Amino acid sequence: MKPYVIGIDMGGTNTAFGIVDARGNVIASSSIKTGKHSKIEDYIDELYTEINRIIVANDAEGKINGIGIGAPNANYFTGVIEDGVNLPWPTPIPLADLISKKFGIPCLITNDANAAAIGEMTYGAARGLKDFIMITLGTGVGSGIVVNGQMVYGHDGFAGELGHVIMKRNNGRVCGCGRTGCLEAYCSATGVARTAREFLEIRDEESLLREYDIENITSKDVYDCAVKGDKLALDIFNYTGTILGEALADFVTFSSPEAFVIFGGLTKSGDYIMNPIREAFDKNIMKVFKGKVKILISELKESDAAVLGASALGWEIKED
């Protein structure tokens, strides 16, 4: 078997990738903007150029065993992105086939949150755990469910879309998936920004957030204001964390995980988001599960969990 694999984490905003060895060391990594190109072929061309650059720079030509990709709604069984709600291109996209042909290297794909879960189980906070749920908080809300040490894919490859569990049945926000009231519409980074805009419109109190262009407010702006003690910003995090904590309490009833591992940019908000998550979780969890489930923050650098997890697929490919 060749000594390296390529791991690719295709997010709605950025695509991170790296060369990984058999011990899980990321030899080299880089990234590109996912939505830069209007055509998937142009995106793949740029991805090929940038990955080839780090392959050459690290003397890895001819030494890549396989390519693993974590991508939104990627189907492990078919190699196709069938409904990439946070991607700029029309679906379905036969991604594994397109990448294999471009690189001349076999490729497997899986859901981006599943890839993150695999990486966390192998190298991070979920080491030694056989039952846990990974929650990724980025452009969207993803999840990877592990039961008895195995990823849950379901019969069609799409199990584990907890970000699209409906949290608000009446007058919920429109989600990118086409439904209304999904968890993702409230607890993703974009969901936090939507909450900020709503709060600024319906509340008349003073706030540092009013100094920002309301249409371009980000979750990072909300965090910066929360650090300065801004009440509206703190309320936004409380609102977001409460919804997520309630959702996690419900998710426990499905697979009785030993832990949730929270991953993604919003975790950088620390206690501002984690305290309301834990409070709502403890308040809403079913009595039989109380005190049994940990809520952990990922121990891996952002993108590393998904890159490492995706790369693990590359070792599944056997040489002819």
pLDDT computed for residue 259 by the predictor: 98
Confidence of residue 319 (pLDDT cuts 50, 70, 90): low
Residues 94 and 142 in one domain: no
Of 136, 77, 154, residue with least CA distance to 110 = 77
Residues 135 and 253 in one domain: yes
Average pLDDT over residues 301-320: 81
Confidence of residue 303 (pLDDT cuts 50, 70, 90): low
Does the residue 57 lie in any domain?
yes
- Rounded to 5°, the CA angle 268-272-274 comes to 75
Which of 60-64, 222-226, 264-268 has the weakest average pLDDT? 264-268
Residues 63 and 138 in one domain: no
18-27 tens-digit pLDDT: 999 988 899 9
Residues 41 and 58 in one domain: yes
Residues 157 and 23 in one domain: no
pLDDT computed for residue 116 by the predictor: 87
Which of 39-48, 75-84, 196-205, 214-223 has the weakest average pLDDT? 75-84
Neighbours of 136 (CB within 10 A): 32
Of 258, 45, 259, 260, residue with least CA distance to 141 = 260
Residues 152 and 282 in one domain: yes
134-154 tens-digit pLDDT: 999 988 999 999 999 999 999
pLDDT at 320 over 60: no
Does the residue 123 lie in any domain?
no
Neighbours of 238 (CB within 10 A): 18
Query: For residue 237, what is the domain's CATH number?
Result: 3.30.420.40
Residues 246 and 280 in one domain: yes
CA 199 centroid distance within chain: 26
Of 163, 159, 136, residue with least CA distance to 77 = 159
pLDDT computed for residue 282 by the predictor: 98
Residues 176 and 254 in one domain: yes
Does the residue 229 lie in any domain?
yes
pLDDT at 185 over 70: yes
Write down the mean pLDDT value for the chain: 93
Does the residue 319 lie in any domain?
no
pLDDT computed for residue 98 by the predictor: 97
Does the residue 137 lie in any domain?
yes
Average pLDDT over residues 266-277: 94
Spatial contact of 114 and 101, defined as CB atoms under 8 Å apart: no
pLDDT at 37 over 70: yes
Confidence of residue 93 (pLDDT cuts 50, 70, 90): very high
Which of 3-7, 76-80, 110-114 has the weakest average pLDDT? 110-114
Does the residue 122 lie in any domain?
no
The count of domains in the chain is 2
Does the residue 320 lie in any domain?
no
Confidence of residue 64 (pLDDT cuts 50, 70, 90): very high
Spatial contact of 100 and 314, defined as CB atoms under 8 Å apart: no
pLDDT at 241 over 70: yes
Residues 256 and 276 in one domain: yes
pLDDT computed for residue 158 by the predictor: 86
Does the residue 227 lie in any domain?
yes
Residues 23 and 54 in one domain: yes
pLDDT computed for residue 85 by the predictor: 65
Residues 188 and 222 in one domain: yes
Backbone angles phi, psi at 10, to 5 degrees: -95, 100
The whole domain housing 8 covers: 4-117+303-314
pLDDT computed for residue 249 by the predictor: 98
Residues 281 and 307 in one domain: no
pLDDT at 84 over 90: no
pLDDT at 312 over 70: yes
CA 184 centroid distance within chain: 11
